[in-house]
Structures are given as structure tokens and as C-alpha cells.
Amino acid sequence: MPRAVTCNDCFFRRKGLCALERDDPCPTFRHMHGGRMATPRQAQLLEPTIARRSAAPVAIGAAR
């Protein structure tokens, strides 16, 4: 089982940029990898589905 992440694993803490005094990771926690800040994992982008049946019909060439 991997060890728990602590505040001491954070890029900001290791570089002396953290102003918080806590032991658990905060919302701004960023892993340090090779002396640099590791980019956070991003959510996968999904193509939206278009429900054509529920859309209102559009009249083409209708008088205004």
C-alpha cells in the first residue's frame, strides 16, 4: 500500500513558499517531481452528446 501524502511532499513546502502550518495536504498541494512542480492530473475531456430528438423542430424558410 502506498504511503499517505503529507504536506512535506508538497512543492510549495519544500521550496519554503508555504505559509500554512498543517500536516495534511491543502487544496493548493502540488507534488514535487525531480525538483520541479508536477502538473496536476486533469479530468478527461468528453465530447458532449447531442439529443436531437428532444430539440424543438426548426422551420426552414418560414416567414418572419
- Predicted confidence at residue 15, as pLDDT, reads 92
- Predicted confidence at residue 16, as pLDDT, reads 92
- For 37, the enclosing helix (H) or strand (E) is strand 36-37
pLDDT tens sequence across 6-22: 888 899 999 999 988 88
Output the pTM of the full model: 0.55
- Predicted confidence at residue 52, as pLDDT, reads 56
Which residues, other chains included, contact 29 with Cβ-Cβ below 8 Å and sequence gap of 6+?
5, 7, 9, 10, 12
- Domain range list for the chain: 1-30
Place of cell 502538473: 39
pLDDT tens sequence across 21-54: 887 888 888 988 888 988 777 888 888 877 655 5
